[in-house]
Structure 1
Amino acid sequence: MNIEKAIQVYLEWKQTHTNWAYTRYENRLLQFKAFIVPKDKLDEINGDDIVAFHRSLEEKYSLNTIAYSARVLKNFFWFWHGRGKTGFNPKEIIPIRFISADKDIVTKDDLEDMSDLLEVNHLQDLQKKLIIHLLWDTGMRLSELLDIKISDIGEQGTDGLRTAKVRTRKSMRYNLVIWGADTDELMNRYLGMRACLDCESNLLLINPKTKKVFTPRSVQRWITELSDMAMLDKNITPHSFRHGKANFILDQGGSVRDVSALLRHVKPESSFQYMQLSKKRYEDVARRYLTTFTTSKELQLA
């Protein structure tokens, strides 16, 4: 099969279950296609081509970007390996491991500082306000939030709480997320404005100008701008809200098991990384298991 056709078929399949990833996946795959010229057949590509491609990226891109590219290509070749169109074993694409810099987390005070900058009577402000409150209340990944459809949202409970079904890309399973009454007030106000948009899409978060779902890059830009306006001396990303939620759960006396359940981790051990988000908490836990030795001088004084 021609590599260009293979990319097109794969992306059409990918778009059926994750709308926001289409452009990012397309960019990486077309970049790979341009690199491997003159090869133009899917079954001509081997592991050496993948290694050479990623080495070529080292001069221009971060390890994080290269690691993302490796995940895209591995997913792409698993798709065609499963259909019997390539003999190349995707297991040869080894995940790139690297140590990332410490990431800043969002606190409840940070959320309030950013939220206070936004007006509820202005659609674009309301969308931004709703997004940051949903990210905080639910600990959702941005991809999960952008994939939510209006039909995925449940009825408001008598206690003011509300739920929605979200699909996690890592496991492809549906899970429930829940948000509180304050966030639901924003949701109800937004749904009223959303109903007035001339748009056939069932997706919750739609750009009123393009009538398409917001891109992750757009949301990241908003959050960076809000963080700067609120004068937060942090490098905040959409994922910082997820880290902040985990930190908040532990600070309120929750357990790592609670973090695992509420953040819907596929592997429970993923939750243990959050134990070190707070230096004080980490020190408090470690202090319980440190041994205090009595010196000979102290024994003499006694």
Structure 2
Amino acid sequence: MRRTTVGISVQPYFTFFPRHCMLNLRVLVYARKGPAGFVSSGSLRNMHEKIREYLEWKGTYAHRASINYKIWLNRFVEQCGDKAIEDYSSTDVVKYHRWLEVHYGSYCIQYAMIIMKNFFQFYKLRNVNCLSPELIRLPRIHQKSHRAITEGEYGKIIKGIPTNEFLPLRDSIMIRLMWDTGVRVSELCDIDISQINENKTSTIISTKKNGKKRIIVWSEETHKLLMKFMGIRMELEKQTHASALFVGWKGNKGWSARLTPRTVERRLKHYVNLVGIKEKITPHSFRHGWAHHRRDQNAPLAFIQRGLGHNSPVSTFIYEQYDDKEFVQNARGYLKAA
């Protein structure tokens, strides 16, 4: 039997948890590769340390995703126990999946399983002896296309938002920018004050999916409200010291450094309900709405593709698809013209 040389150094340190801290012992284990070519993770290193290590790497290229990953990885540990990474098996995957089925919908379940698969794939690529990511299968779900917001619905929402106070004014501008530009909600939240020029109704942003720069252009009406907003926002900057164009109010905690996509979604839902629209409208509905509106204006595919920030025209075709109502209206028009 091949022996493994192990060196151990012990020193006190504090491990910080969300609600408390405790004195612990750091045990550093150095092991040579075993017969199978794997590096032992060491049973004294728990899963939370592995998660922290993985998220540090994930955060180097996808900071926002690393925040979401932490939530779901911690849920996995809560359900299956905090143990050495090599001790997790397909049984834990089944247990976690059954728990997800009780508490979440199909999209959340698929997202949670993707995170687990990526996590174990990371350590497998580092030759750590752990559960094979091939054993984590993703559940099949039927993709539902986002419904495109109509021009009438957009007008109804905008009319229901007052612009004489800072927060409603902020909300109005965010919704106007989504309608005018087709920008992703995450891209909207990433816009900084420095990107706004009072003499231009456009700015350059980084496309979220591929990192490429692209121009977004908005209307003169939106620009007038944006300049009104900027006057207040620049005064507020002295208090917040935040670079983000859109910030949020957190009550006793004061102003947030940057508005989150989830907050934008909640604010939009508030106004949709306020004006009595029954159809589900999300920030992504505005991207589809922008594509549909430009399609109806006979804009070329290349223009729509660039506006949406797509690498492939195939992705743009998906955004241009007619919904049932649009198809029926156009079908009747063609029948009359025949």
Alpha-carbon shift at residue 81 of structure 1 (Å): 5.1
Q: Is the 8 A contact 2:181 2:218 kept in 1?
A: yes
Alpha-carbon shift at residue 14 of structure 1 (Å): 5.0
Any stretches of 5+ residues in structure 2 without a counterpart? Answer: 1-40
- Deviations along 1:219-263, one digit per CA (max 9) or x if unpaired, are 222111211222223111111111111111111112444332211
Q: Does 1:226 align with 2:271?
A: yes
Q: Which residue of 2 aligns with 1:199?
A: 240
One-letter code aligned to 2:275: A
> 1:240-255 residue pairs with structure 2 within 5 A?
240-255=285-300
- Deviations along 1:18-44, one digit per CA (max 9) or x if unpaired, are 665565333212101112215x23344
Q: Is the 8 A contact 1:58 1:66 kept in 2?
A: yes
SS, match of residue 295 in structure 2 = helix
Q: Which residue of 2 aligns with 1:6?
A: 50
Q: Is the 8 A contact 2:202 2:215 kept in 1?
A: no
> 1:99-178 residue pairs with structure 2 within 5 A?
99-101=142-144, 103-151=146-194, 153=195, 155=197, 160-168=200-208, 170-178=209-217
Alpha-carbon shift at residue 63 of structure 1 (Å): 0.5
Alpha-carbon shift at residue 51 of structure 1 (Å): 4.8
Task: Give the structure with higher Rg (CA).
Answer: 2
TM-score between the two structures when normalised by the length of structure 1: 0.78
Identity %: 29
Q: Which residue of 2 aligns with 1:298?
A: none
TM-score between the two structures when normalised by the length of structure 2: 0.71
Tell me the C-alpha RMSD between the 2 structures.
Answer: 3.2
Greater share of strand: 2
Q: Which residue of 2 aligns with 1:263?
A: 308
Q: Is the 8 A contact 2:207 2:214 kept in 1?
A: yes
One-letter code aligned to 1:162: S
- Deviations along 1:152-209, one digit per CA (max 9) or x if unpaired, are x15355xx521131341x3344433332322222222222211122112212211143
Question: Which gives a bigger RCO, structure 1 or 2 (Cα 8 Å, sep 6+)?
Answer: 1
Task: Give the 3 Å change call, closer, same or farther, for CA 35–201 of structure 1 in structure 2.
Answer: same
SS, match of residue 243 in structure 1 = helix
- For the residues of structure 1 that align with 2:109 and 2:261, how far apart are their CA atoms? 18
Task: Give the 3 Å change call, closer, same or farther, for CA 255–210 of structure 1 in structure 2.
Answer: same
> 1:63-78 residue pairs with structure 2 within 5 A?
63-78=106-121
- For the residues of structure 2 that align with 1:130 and 1:74, how far apart are their CA atoms? 39
- For the residues of structure 1 that align with 2:197 and 2:122, how far apart are their CA atoms? 37
- For the residues of structure 2 that align with 1:140 and 1:280, how far apart are their CA atoms? 24
